Amino acid sequence: MDRAFADDAGLPDACEDVTVVLPCLDEEASVGRCVKEALQACALGGLAAEVVVVDNRSTDDSAAVATAAGARVIVERRAGYGSALQAGIRAARGRVVVMADADCTYELARIPDLVGPVARGDADLMLGARLQSASHQTMPFLHRFVGTPVLTFLVARATGAELPVSDSQSGFRAFRRDRMLGLGVRGTGMEFASEMLIQAARARWRIGEIPTEYSERVGDSKLRTLADGWRHLQLITALAPDLALVWPGGAALVLGLLLLLASLLFPAGLPFGSLLWQPLFFAPIATVVGAQMLLAGCVLAHRSSLLAGATRRRFAFVGRPGFPRWCMRGGLIGAWLGLAIDGVLFIVWILGLPAPAIGVPLASLAQTLLITGSTVAVFGLITRLTLDRRRTELGVGEVGLDDVVTQIGTVTAGVGDAA
């Protein structure tokens, strides 16, 4: 046995050098071939190995086929790719775990090449990159040129560091079992792959990649493009809210305000060739949505326990007592200003006076101020109550209805003074 495997502990039952974990859902036509290929590759590489097939509620004879091919089959009742892999990693007897798929897509003959750097201590996580060898028969066009590259960029951005990986969604990986169990990856679906990379990079794991072949799968794909993509975006939002919410929200807010200004300066519309575009219809939407995204992103960046400390410190202002107060004051000022503009326009209409040339843009501005101001003010109030609740939980003091009324009165008075 390789000396690199000699001193790990805490493994169930007898120890192997390598455990190949194959999640399986109705893969009767391919799982037996995958088991045999994995065992053969390990034998040729001089690795004492086992193959664990995780039956994730298959309705065909996948389990029987896998057992006949030489695999140890376990059952995971919780549905999902991530759930199956977590169960397989926990059940593994090998010091190094290789994860792959049971559909004949991955080049299992390269298992020794993935395991080698991990076993020698040169890497903590190795991936088999697929994109160089993928074709339109093996990977859909949108997955190959849009989905995977975009998710790889987002995953790299979420780590806050350079990620030496070109294919973040590859499911062909090798790592030490004990270290993976301590990493705390919790994803139950396809987002498991992204979360593993993000958490590993933040833990300063040494991550490597080798090019591998990617073949046409046997059987039907279990990937749900929209559902799995949405779960990935939820994960990225939780781990990188500044990227997913703060900066896009801030950009939308600034764009909306600039378009509102443009609608006031050019009430007839902005010329585009022979056409006139009225930005006042899009501007309020961009302003309101941008403000909501910006506020939500700031709170998530400050409160999420999944974020790195540096990111949370950048948004520490959200937790200061003055922040909700300024939000409430600013929001109420904006809402009152919107009401004032609406009131003036209403008086002009009632008196039958000529409507100003910028009457419609002013009405759009008023509605934007009303909605955005109300949103910001309510956000400030909720943030204030949340901070007070945390203070109560920490034993700093209790918050009652009188305190809330007093706080609102103080803010309103501040608004009056500012006006």
CB-based burial label for 274 (10 Å; 0-12, 13-18, 19+): exposed
Token code pair at residue 12: 């169930």
Same domain, 303 and 194: no
Same domain, 266 and 195: no
- Report the CATH number that the domain containing residue 151 is assigned in CATH: 3.90.550.10
Same domain, 16 and 115: yes
Give residue 91's pLDDT: 95
Q: 143 lies in which domain range? A: 3-238
Strand partners, 23: 54
Query: How crowded is residue 245: how many other Cβ atoms within 10 Å of its Cβ?
Result: 21
Same domain, 218 and 234: yes
Q: What angle do CA 83, 89, 92 make, to 5 degrees?
A: 140
- H or E segment to which residue 176 belongs: strand 173-176
Total domains in the fold of the chain: 2
Last residue of a domain, one of 179, 211, 238: 238
Give residue 14's pLDDT: 46
Give residue 227's pLDDT: 67
CA–CA distance, 218 with 37 (Å, rounded to integer): 15
Q: Which of 369, 285, 307 is nearest to 332 (CA)?
A: 369
pLDDT in tens, 221-257: 655 666 666 766 776 777 778 888 899 999 999 999 9
Same domain, 273 and 214: no
Q: Which of 95, 69, 94, 74 is nearest to 85 (CA)?
A: 74
Same domain, 369 and 403: yes
Same domain, 253 and 200: no
3-state percent helix, strand, coil for the chain, nearest multiple of 5 = 55, 10, 30
Same domain, 313 and 202: no
Residues 6+ apart with CB under 8 A from 311: 160, 242, 301
- Strand stretches in 15-90, DSSP E: 16-24, 49-55, 72-75
Last residue of a domain, one of 190, 223, 238: 238
Same domain, 44 and 173: yes
Query: How crowded is residue 48: how many other Cβ atoms within 10 Å of its Cβ?
Result: 17
Same domain, 198 and 65: yes
Q: How far is CA 128 from CA 60, 132, 169, 225, in A?
A: 29, 11, 10, 22
CB-based burial label for 281 (10 Å; 0-12, 13-18, 19+): exposed
Give the relative orientation of helices 148-159 and 192-202 as an angle to the nearest 10 degrees: 30
Query: How crowded is residue 303: how many other Cβ atoms within 10 Å of its Cβ?
Result: 15
Give residue 228's pLDDT: 60
Query: How crowded is residue 228: how many other Cβ atoms within 10 Å of its Cβ?
Result: 17
Last residue of a domain, one of 214, 238, 262: 238
Same domain, 210 and 111: yes
Q: Does the predicted TM-score (pTM) go above 0.85?
A: no
Give residue 333's pLDDT: 95
Phi, psi of 23 (to 5 degrees): -65, 145
> How far does Cα 305 stand from its chain's mean position?
14
Question: Which residue ranges in the chain fall short of pLDDT 50?
Answer: 1-4, 6-14, 394, 396-416, 418-419
pLDDT in tens, 68-110: 999 999 999 998 899 999 999 999 999 999 999 999 999 999 9
Same domain, 222 and 279: no
- Strand stretches in 309-394, DSSP E: none
